[in-house]
Amino acid sequence: MTLWEYLKGRMLEHSRRVALEDGTTYGELVDYIEERAKKHTERNRLVCVSGKSKTAHAIEILSVLASENVAVPVDDCYGVERKQEVETTIAQDKKQYPELAFIMFTSGTGGKPKGVMLSHENIIQNLKMLETYFALLPDDKILIARPLMHIAVIVGELLYGLIRGATIQFYEKPFLPQKLKREMEEKNTTVVCGTPTLFRNLLRVSACGFPLKKCVISGERLFPALASALSAANPQTEFYNVYGLTEHSPRVSALLPKDFARKAGSVGKLLAGVQTKIENGELLVKSPCVMVGYYTDAARTNAKIKNGWLYTGDVAHTDRNGYLYIDGRKDNMIIRSGLNVYPEEIEEVASACAGVENCVAYGEEDDIEGNKIVLKYCGEVSEQTLRKFLSGKLAPHLMPRAIKNVNALPATPSGKKVRKC
């Protein structure tokens, strides 16, 4: 069964329910999407999908799926260059990929974004896993506030909302907490999903809480202090803290509302059908949701999946009741405001700046963005000049918050970079 066949079947079960905020019903939405799908005359091809608004982007993604093609979401928000690079690469590929539903491009090292290939079955199985714990109801109104560039948003919010018969709302304004909160109130939103950074910002502008029934938190580490503050300000809201990765379509585990306070710090229990083991401290998972592989990168794929086990790159442990805790990263990846940043990507560009002899980028824990990116370097060039140089070449979310010129950079005895303050 293709993903669209599955989605359509579920959506038609509640064809009279309201799907979108303008009153469009599920029956009407299915017809509309299939009508739009007709403009794609070929099958099983890779199709880059963009949209001027989240609403448009969502409709286009669904149309591509309905046309039996593979959706490759693109957007300017993470860099115009990256968007163009993806579009150029995809345009050159005329092959057919009948098993795929999506290719999601995310940050990678070595200057090349990784294309995570997800099959119809990957997504359908992850949606079924969500149904084992996330009671989204037809009466719920879910406000999608983040770009449709993340599989967590596409699967966890859009597609899940559609199969559950909820009303889907889109937040199209500038990303500002006061406005987001006001829109939630005006639209009687009941569900919002976001990163700890987003919820921290919301809490700053509404100490007395926000009017939501369910909140799903994901994308970066949720510190117990923030979890407590959120619960205290919103006693009527059910909070979930969940963990996943794009390579797993994405969801791996979930901490349920009943455990949100008493097991703060944990990302909950593994979802039904997900096997796990810890190897040298690293979390490995195995399930039908493990990606097909990285697009045109067999070497990286083979390093990531071995004998069906997905090497998450996260260091983790479980307690004796089976609750999972993520302790950190195995590699150097930094998570800033829920976005993946590889210090190597920044260092590579910085090293190319005339006058920079040596540099190191790292994350420093921060209560604004989870981690702030710091770049230290040795060389004759000024911090201002280096910043200007970087801003022309790095995608916006990779820009270091602090750039410091230092006399020397620490190194390990074998000469490796030391990535700490």
Does the footprint of another protein cover residue 400 (CB under 8 A)?
A: yes
Q: Is 397 in the site for another protein (CB under 8 A)?
A: yes
Kindly state the smallest distance separating residue 384's Cβ from another protein, in Å. Answer: 8
How far, in Å, are 13, 89, 181, 187, 202 from residue 207 at the CA level? 40, 47, 12, 20, 8
x/- map, 203-242, another protein, by CB under 8 A: -xx-------------------------------------
Candidate list 28, 401, 409, 419; residue touching another protein; CB under 8 A? 401
What would the DSSP string read from start to end of 390-416? HHHHS-GGGS-SEEEE-S---B-TTS-
Q: Which two tokens stand for residue 257?
A: 């509302």
What are residue 16's phi and psi, to 5 degrees?
Answer: -90, -10
Query: Which of 107, 218, 287, 337 is close enough to bind another protein by CB under 8 A?
Result: 337
Coil/strand/helix, residue 16: coil
Residue 197 interacting with another protein (CB under 8 A)? yes
Size of the site for another protein (CB under 8 A): 31
Instruction: Fill in the per-residue mask, 352 to 391: x = in contact with another protein (CB under 8 A), - = not in contact.
Output: ----------------xx--x-----------x--xx-xx
- Judged by CB under 8 A, the residue of 56, 256, 399, 409 near another protein is 399
- What residues numbered 158-187 form the site for another protein, per CB under 8 A? 173-179
Q: How far is the CB of 397 from another protein (least distance, A)?
A: 6
Nearer Cβ to another protein, position 18 or 335? 335
Tokens of 306: 């071995």
89-93 own/partner pairs: CB under 8 Å, 24+ apart: 90/46, 90/47, 90/48, 91/48, 93/46
Nearest to 337 by CA among 142, 241, 201: 201
The CB-side HSE value for 224 (13 A sphere, CA atoms) comes to: 9
Q: Residue 338 has which token pair?
A: 């829920």
Task: Name the site residues for another protein (rule: CB under 8 A).
Answer: 77, 173-179, 197, 201, 204-205, 336-337, 339, 368-369, 372, 384, 387-388, 390-392, 396-397, 399-403
